[in-house]
Structure formats: structure tokens, C-alpha cells
Structure 1
Amino acid sequence: MDILEYADKVWRQESDAMAYHNGDLREHGLHAITDGVHMWPAFGNVYVFETDDGLLMFDAGSADTARALFDATRKLSAEPLRHAVYSHGHVDHIWGTKGFDQEADANGWNRPTVVAHSAVKDRFDRYISTNGYNTVINQRQFQAPDLRWPKTYRYPDTTYDTRMTLSQGGLVAELSHGYGETDDATVAWFPQKKVVCVGDFFIWSSPNAGNPQKVQRYALKWAEKLREIAGLGAGFLLPGHGLPIVGKDRIVEAMTTSAEYLEHLHASTMELLNSGATLDTALHSVDVPEKFLDKPYLRPSYDEPEFVVRNAWRLYGGWYDGDPSNLKPARRSVLGESIATLAGGADALAATARRELNDGDERVAAKLIQLATDAEPDNLDVHAIRAEIFGELRKRATSTMSKGVYAWAVAESTAKIQGRDTLDLIRENSEGKFRLM
């Protein structure tokens, strides 16, 4: 399959991206993008550049494809890998240097020099201190019970703060920092090739600026970086996830439209924040025009606009949501018992939740069934309705974030009913493994 022809069809919405997501493209090894530039299409894409002094790599991919990446690269060239640039420190972008490090050690060569923004080191330090938390939230997000968060990392050898020019074998890469999904992000502009590698600033989905289980994201600064990328004059845009975009006009459209999307969410949230509105008002007032949702690269398949609103609020307004009862909230079990008593018991509350799901407000259904479960955590009939409700919400959800949380709730209640461990149940029904290292 010619990856650029395929990318063109996806752009024109004449084909979906399933061949990319299913890993079919990796069967063909590295794909040529332009002269001396090759793509390894994976969960986290990798780009390999041939130079007069060995190879240069932008991003290093995830652990589960690291060996295959090494083998595919060696089919292309026997030249040593001189530099590897991390677009950021997320674990699906940092493991592919392992085989090249081992090769260098075995042959007595210098290991590849890993280059990254200075904040990548801080990220790795934070990952080590929050190892348990990251294991739990990523098990939930990806429904991956065997996932264990890494405790060791390949730290960068060379770091920069704002901008850096990297030269190797006649090839020049202009590295620049930006805030977006992370605070440690790098964009690489290769002016001689008219190629820009953008990492997770573009992922063929609505920008991941709101993830409810992860640290702060930066919608407005993200938009600013997208506009900067649009002004480079690139002919090839190589994303951290998804297919390349070819052609200056398409690149400008994708970058500016994505920027407008983020600016709209940010500005709408700020207007409400400045008016004294509550977070509840913001979440239920900010809408997204169809002109954004119609784009194949802005659909809420991973993150959701509502979550971006929450993150913008958190950045400027802190964690207080404007509801005084949430300043010092009641314990969930106590509140659940109180509401269940008013409703005539946890079973009655659960029945009301089911009616809301079918004939009313699905958000009310979710809240009521959780209150019923909090009131009587050992009531298996209530857990059965909880599994039913969150199972239906999972089907209706569009984003990976929502589907993961809802599916986890279903597994919790199902495991409770069956007297089993939640992770064992998920493991039994898992569609695949998500490896980190």
C-alpha cells in the first residue's frame, strides 16, 4: 500500500484509517515519504532520516514495536543512528532507541545522542514518583490489566529550552519548543526537505487538550504553535499519530482549523469564567460548531471538547467549580445513603437511574446509579443496573477517554456480582495487550 495515496484518500474522506490503526501498514516496513525520509507507522509514529553521516530519528515509538522498528531500519540502511529526537516524553514515543543502543554497545560505537526539551527529564522524574498512579489510570484508559508503568527511562543526552539547531551529515533540523498536550513538546522543521515533524500537536483527532486523568494541557498555547507550524511553508507534515499530510495548502488548513477549534473552546470558557459563571454553566454552555466536527482530523474520537473546557478552567480558575457544596464535599457513601433514603432505598434509586437512561437524561442516570452504588456497595442488584447503565454509556461515547472510564465501571460492577477481581475480568475480556516497555 502506498502510504501517501492512502493518506490522500483519508484526507478526502474516501477511506477510513483502519489500516493505520490495525497496524497493517507496518507489514511493509518503513515507508518512503520523500527523498531520504521514511515513516514507521505505529501507535506512536517514528520518522527516519538518511544523512551523509548516518541516520537521524524523530520520535522513537513504543516498546511493542521497538524491535520491529530496529529490524525495519536495518533493512533500509546499515548506517549507525547518530541522533534521536523525542517529540515529548510520553511512553509511546521513547522506546525505539533500545535496539540501537544495544547495537552500539556490542560494536563499540557511541550510542545515539538523544535530544529533547529540558522538561522531558522532569517528566521522567515525575513518572517515577507517580508510578502506581500512572499504572492505574492507564490500565483504565486503555483497558489493559497487564499494563505496568515503567520505572526506568532512556533520559535525553542533550536538552534545550526554547530553540536548537541540530545538524547532521548535511541535514539541518530546527527544533522548537511548544506547549500543547505536554509542557515538553518539540517540533522539528527540516527546511531542506520541506518536512515538519509535529509530534502530538496533530493526531488526526480533536486535540488531546483535556484528558480527564492526566496533568494540565495548554489549549491556547497549543493553538499558537499550530499557527506557527502553518507559517513554515512545509510540504510534508508528519504527525505523532495518524497519516502524513502532503501539500502546503492542506497543511495550512489542518493547522489553522485546529488552532481555531482550540481558540474557540478557550475563548468561550474564558468568557464564562470572567463573567463569574460556574464550571457547570461552562460545561453545558460551550458548544462546538459543525464546521469543526465535519473535519476528519477534528472528530472527538480520543478526547472531547467538554474535557478541553475543564482543562482551560483548571488552568485559570483552580479546582473550585463555583458550587459551594463542593468546597468541602460530603463523603460519597454518606451522600449516597442520604439520597437513597429520600428515594425510598438504593433499589428505588437504581430503578430511577434506569428510567433516566431510557427516557430522560443519561447524565442524570449516571449520577443516580453511582449514588445508589455508593449507598449500598454490596447490593448486587444495584451493581447489575450500574453495569447496564455504564455499558450503554460506553456504547454511546465517541472518545477513548469516556469509553475507558465507562468500561472500567462496568467491569467493577460485573466483578462484584461474580465475586471476582476486576483486573482478572478485564484480562479475560481484553481484546489485546498494550505494552509500555
Structure 2
Amino acid sequence: MARLSLVPLLLLTACGEEPDDNILTRQGNMPATATTIEANAKVPQTLDLADPRDFEDARRGLIAAPEALQITGPEGDLIWDMPSYDFIEGEAPDTVNPSLWRQATLNNVHGLFEVAPRLYQLRGFDLSNMSIIEGDTGWILVDPLTTEETAAAAIAFAREHLGTKPISAVIFTHSHIDHFGGVLAVLGANSDTEIIAPKGFMEEATSENVLAGSTMSRRSMFMYGSQLEHSPRGHVDSGLGKSPAFGSPGIIEPTQIIDTTGQALTIDGVEFIFQNAAGSEAPAELTFYLPQFKAFCGAEVVSRNMHNVYTLRGAQVRDALKWSGYIDEAIHLFPDVEVYFASHHWPLWGNDAIVDFLKKQRDSYAYIHDQTLRLAAMGYTPREIADMVEMPESLRKSFPNRGYYGTVKHNAKAVYQRYFGWYDGNPANLDPLPPEQSAKHYVKIMGGANAILESAQDSFNDGEYRWVAELLNQLVFAEPDNARARALLAQTYDQLAYQAESGPWRDVYLTGALELRQGTPTEGIDLAHAKNLIEKTPLDQFFTLMAATLNGPKADGKHYTLNIEFTDMGETYVLELENSVLHHREGEADPGADATVRITHPLFIKMLIGDVGVKDILFSDDVSVEGGKLSLIQFFALLDTPDPMFNIVTP
């Protein structure tokens, strides 16, 4: 697609600076309209944004904060930049929902904190927190961040202020990459340190990043606003933290698995009582209680925002009812708790405050679950339910239950999807036309592009931004090169972003606006940075991924059987293509195979991350091929290469 940009025609401002009211930012974002200013001005009337308790808790126990926390990647690129958020201070600008601005201000508080004697946290070095529990001989680390670079900076800062102690154990609370990816920086690849994780950790931690990883990565660019400038009209916060770090993630296999609630371990002299919370916020997750500290680590089962029952980057829908049940279980398992800390945000102190917090978190997920099913039973569809569910006042006015990350609207749709799937029961939605085809019909019946643009502009002037987005989306999909339609839709997304309380919603809208103005980005995430993670991924998952890249129509009528022998691992996989489906099994080689490839695991990994091509491998001296190389080339020609930068806001 050609890159469209109106920005060179406009007076621009520097990244991170608040633009004058009548000019656009470097990325083309327009000022807030009167409608947006009015909507954001109403937010403080419904919430006590001046409540100081969260600010006191967020700053409590601060030992030290880096003067300028900037972390570079392996090639000198900046992967973490806290100073870029320095513009977040004082009152919210017109272009940011004041409630989200409050959360962003709280998430700006960073450094090394003492949570309780012998219990510390490093916050603001990454999207997630790294916690340190001081044992008898060393440190027990909880969740060593996303990347080697951020974890190395965090642990170095801790040692600077707390002294140097060995790492006696590491706990991965769950299977999302921001809670284990930096482990190699704190341990090294060959460490014999005890690694504790929930049941199913390795399978879930690797599978999420392989089978659907390419699609999730592209959608994550929208959800986290990775292409956006950090400014009052750009990215300000993810709600869960500032943003993900894009560096070099790794992984180490656990040595101790938690599979039972109530399971107790003494680690370096510290007693732990674990809760197995599988299938809550992550497929593999645990929480734990430290009796001697009366401290509960809620992992990401609880956090200081409403979480995602469905995440916008795309993942399996979570079970809101089970999630609520785990929180209720924790309340009764650990009634003497006096300190709460978690994988994100800041801690909380005092039994009454913690129990109240846990109950409201519990009831938020249960309420959305129950009300969605109630309304579905009355015949309402997902889109209707999303607009109908409103949290009760006790939950609605609780800041940790606000939709800074997940939202009531998309979580209600997620509950509906979990029970009833994508189909809402209306026959018109059973087999609708693809978007491009239906869009052309809509444009024709509405009198053409000019008529639509005139109507859309009137609605924009009236502040009906949700409708304008729906209307202009049809025109853009029918006429993707219509510059006026793209420009007005981008302006509409600006206003929807400025009013959004959810950090991801804001980033989604603003990224959509950016791509309408400038086209899709040219580069995505470099898989080479995740080499260690890929190396630890079971081979079975890559062959499952290979099946998902097979071009079914091209494979129609083809039949191949291939043996893949990994000479350094002693493992053999047999691949068989028939009926346009690729099957695989581990075991003995098929003597009647069309070809047998003998390859080392490291060379196979180089192929996966794109360091070498398939043809280079097949004709390499480091690879032995028995049988027909032509058959191999023909087979690999049937596999599509995923497009990491596929279009989203245009056809």
C-alpha cells in the first residue's frame, strides 16, 4: 500500500511536547474538539480524582529512583524510556481522559521500594514489577520482567542500594512473557537455581508466542501503541503499566511445579503457601502467601485496574466466573493478610483495605459474568449487552475496578463469546458478506462517497464519533485511497482516543489514526531477539505452526511424507501431507518417505528466525538430505509466509 501522509502540509511539533491548540502533532493528531473537552470535563464530577490514598501508597517505601531510567537494547536501540513520560504531571490536558491521566501519573512513580521488612519491589523498569524476597542466604526473585535488558538494569539497581546477594530462587507467577522473559539476565543460561512455576507453565509460555504469535504481535502494536509518540495526544499509559519492553526475552525450565492450592514450600528459610489459579488471567498462574510477613502476592489475578477477560491483542477468552472464584478463595485462604503486592502496580497495606479491594475485584468479574448471561437470556446481543451493562456504584467508583486496561464493554462481549460464540442468533449475521464487498454496497446505496462524507462531517460536528467511525469505515473499505475519508476517520479516532479511559482503547484508536495517515509500518518485531525463547520451545509446536501456514488450496491433491531427524537431539518427526492437511508425529522414521532431512536443532532455529532460508539449508553442507530435494522444495513452496504487517484499518 502506498504511504499516505498529510503531515508535511502542516506545522508540526516535537515528540513529547504539547502542541498549540490549532496545530497538529508530528503524527498528525488533531486538537480535542468541544465535544471531547466537554466529555472529559464531566469525568471529575463522577470520580474523586483527588483522593490521595493511591498516591500515598504508590510512593510509600521508596528507597531510590534512577535519575533518568533509559535502557538500550542489543543494537543500541532504546527499549525503555521513562523520561519520555515526564510530560505526565499536573492536571489532565483536554486530549486525555482525566481518569486515565490519574492512572498514568500513578504508573509514572518508579524505583526501588521497601514493601515490608525483607520484601522489596522494582517498579517502572518494565511493564511489570520484579519483587525481591530476602531469604536466609539470598534473594528470592518474583517475575524477572520481560527482557534481559530491563531485568539486568533492575537487578543492578537493586544491588546498588541493597547490596549484592546470590539469587536463591526465582518464581514465575504465570505464563505471560512480561513475568519471565528477563530471567537469563539475573541467572545466566546455565544456572542451577531453583525455578518455581505453575503447572503447565512451559507449554503455555511458549505456545502463546508461537502458534498465533505473528497475528498477536501485529495486533499488539495497536493495543500497546508501540508506533505512537509519547505525548498528550499520543501514548500515555497502558493502564497496567507504562508499556511493554521490546528487547531480548528468554526462558528457563522450572525445577519445581505448583499444581495444588495449599501447597507449601520453604524456600531459603521463607515459608510460602501457594494457590494454583490456572485458567484465570493466564492459563498457568499461581498466587502465594508469606505467613511470616502476612503478605499476599496476587500475581495478576488481581491488579489495580479492571483486567481483560478478553485481551485486544487476541488470546483465548478467559473464564470470568472461575477468575472471580479464585479471588474469593484467596480471601478465605489468607484471612490474616496485612500486605498486598502483585505483578503490576503498587502495594496496599492493612487488612480491611486489602479485603475490601479483593472483594471488589472478585465482584467485578462476577458481576460482568452474571449480568451478561442475564441479558443474553432476555435475547440481547453482544453489542447490545456491551452498552447495557453498567457497574453498580460501589464497584464503579472504586479506582482498582476502573477500565484502565480491560473494560466493561469488551469484557461483557467476551463472556458472551465464551458461552455462545461469535454468532448472535440473527440470521443476517450468519453468513454476511466480507467487509470489502458489503462496504461497496453500502456506499452505493447511500449515494456515493461525497454524500457519505457530507453526512459524516455533520455527525462529526455533532460529536457522534462512534457513528462516524462506523460510517466512514464502510467508505474506507470501499475506497481505501479516498484521502478525505481517511483523514476524517483519523480525526474521529483521535477524539475517541482522547475520551477513552482505557489505555489500550486509546492506543488502538490512535494507532488506527496513524495508519490511516501514514500507512502500515514497514517493520515488526525481530524474532532474532527472542532466539533463546524459541530454542526452548518444544519442536512439536513448530510443526503445529507449520500446519497452520499450509496453503490449503495450493496443497489440494498433493501428498508428501517427510522425515525430519534432529541429529543432535535424537528426535525424529514424520510429516505427512494429505487432504490438504499437514500431520506430524514423533517416532520412527517412515521408510517410504519422499525425503529424509537430517539437521541440527540450532540450524533449524536459524531457519525459523529467518537467519537462513529453506533453500540455503537444503543445499548446506551441514544438512543431509536423503531422497528427492525437489520434493522438499515443492513441499516448502506450499507454506505461506505470515505477513507481520498486515492491514487492519484498511482492506
> TM-score range, shorter-chain basis?
0.7 to 0.9
Report whether the alignment pairs 1:181 with 2:281. yes
How far, CA to CA, are the matches of 1:250 and 1:386 in structure 2? 44
Report whether the alignment pairs 1:196 with 2:246. no
Shift of 1:269: 0.5
Contact 1:128 1:152 in 2 (8 A): no
Contact 1:45 1:240 in 2 (8 A): yes
Report whether the alignment pairs 1:6 with 2:88. no
The residue that corresponds to 1:55 in the other structure is 139
User: Which structure carries more helix by proportion?
Assistant: 1
How far, CA to CA, are the matches of 2:223 and 2:247 in structure 1? 13
Report whether the alignment pairs 1:281 with 2:384. yes
The residue that corresponds to 1:338 in the other structure is 441
Report whether the alignment pairs 1:290 with 2:393. yes
Question: What do the CA deviations read for 1:10-49 (whole angstroms, capped 9, x no partner)?
Answer: 9xx9x95556522x431xxx32221211111132111111
The residue that corresponds to 1:399 in the other structure is 502
Shift of 1:323: 2.7
Report the count of equivalent residues: 411
Contact 1:194 1:235 in 2 (8 A): yes
Structure 1 residue matching 2:110: 3-state secondary structure: helix
Compared CA separation, residues 165 and 292, structure 1 to 2 (3 A): same
Shift of 1:177: 1.6
Contact 1:131 1:149 in 2 (8 A): no
Shift of 1:180: 2.4
Shift of 1:9: 8.0
Contact 2:219 2:312 in 1 (8 A): no
Contact 1:347 1:382 in 2 (8 A): no
Compared CA separation, residues 322 and 87, structure 1 to 2 (3 A): same
Question: What do the CA deviations read for 1:35-67 (whole angstroms, capped 9, x no partner)?
Answer: 211111132111111111322122222225211
Contact 2:223 2:508 in 1 (8 A): yes
Question: What do the CA deviations read for 1:165-224 (whole angstroms, capped 9, x no partner)?
Answer: 221222111121213222212101111110111111222112332323332122111211
Unaligned ranges ≥5, structure 1: 428-434
The residue that corresponds to 1:73 in the other structure is 158
The residue that corresponds to 2:116 in the other structure is 34
Shift of 1:151: 7.9
Contact 1:44 1:241 in 2 (8 A): yes
2:184 to 89, 98, 117: 98
How far, CA to CA, are the matches of 1:335 and 1:378 in structure 2? 17
Contact 1:44 1:93 in 2 (8 A): yes
Shift of 1:74: 2.6
The residue that corresponds to 2:193 in the other structure is 112
1:224 to 317, 320, 325: 325
Report whether the alignment pairs 1:375 with 2:478. yes
How far, CA to CA, are the matches of 2:494 and 2:54 in structure 1? 38
Amino acid at match of 2:208: R
Report whether the alignment pairs 1:323 with 2:404. no
The residue that corresponds to 1:212 in the other structure is 312
Shift of 1:159: 2.2
Compared CA separation, residues 228 and 128, structure 1 to 2 (3 A): same
Contact 1:82 1:111 in 2 (8 A): no
Shift of 1:160: 2.9
Shift of 1:126: 3.0
Structure 1 residue matching 2:257: 3-state secondary structure: strand
How far, CA to CA, are the matches of 1:227 and 1:134 in structure 2? 31
Amino acid at match of 1:378: D
Amino acid at match of 1:73: A
Unaligned ranges ≥5, structure 2: 1-52, 61-98, 229-244, 534-651
Amino acid at match of 1:112: T
How far, CA to CA, are the matches of 1:126 and 1:205 in structure 2? 23
Contact 1:140 1:405 in 2 (8 A): yes
Report whether the alignment pairs 1:128 with 2:231. no
Compared CA separation, residues 266 and 313, structure 1 to 2 (3 A): same
Shift of 1:251: 0.4
Contact 2:196 2:256 in 1 (8 A): yes
Contact 2:120 2:133 in 1 (8 A): yes
Shift of 1:246: 0.3
Shift of 1:268: 0.4
How far, CA to CA, are the matches of 2:432 and 2:500 in structure 1? 28
1:170 to 245, 269, 276: 269
Shift of 1:158: 2.7
Question: What do the CA deviations read for 1:346-386 (whole angstroms, capped 9, x no partner)?
Answer: 23223323322332643221110100101111111111111
The residue that corresponds to 1:431 in the other structure is none
Amino acid at match of 1:367: E
Compared CA separation, residues 255 and 373, structure 1 to 2 (3 A): same
Report whether the alignment pairs 1:157 with 2:255. yes
The residue that corresponds to 1:432 in the other structure is none
Question: What do the CA deviations read for 1:305-338 (whole angstroms, capped 9, x no partner)?
Answer: 0111011111111121223222222011111111
Report whether the alignment pairs 1:144 with 2:230. no
How far, CA to CA, are the matches of 2:325 and 2:511 in structure 1? 36
Report whether the alignment pairs 1:239 with 2:342. yes
Shift of 1:5: 8.0
Contact 1:226 1:259 in 2 (8 A): yes
Amino acid at match of 1:142: Y
Compared CA separation, residues 353 and 305, structure 1 to 2 (3 A): same
Superposition RMSD on alpha carbons, in Å? 2.9
Amino acid at match of 1:52: D
Is 146-155 or 186-195 further displaced after alignment?
Answer: 146-155
How far, CA to CA, are the matches of 1:99 and 1:152 in structure 2? 9
Amino acid at match of 1:256: K
Contact 1:346 1:373 in 2 (8 A): no
Question: What do the CA deviations read for 1:91-129 (whole angstroms, capped 9, x no partner)?
Answer: 221133222322x85xxxx43222111232222123122
How far, CA to CA, are the matches of 2:517 and 2:105 in structure 1? 33
Report whether the alignment pairs 1:84 with 2:170. yes
Contact 1:202 1:241 in 2 (8 A): no
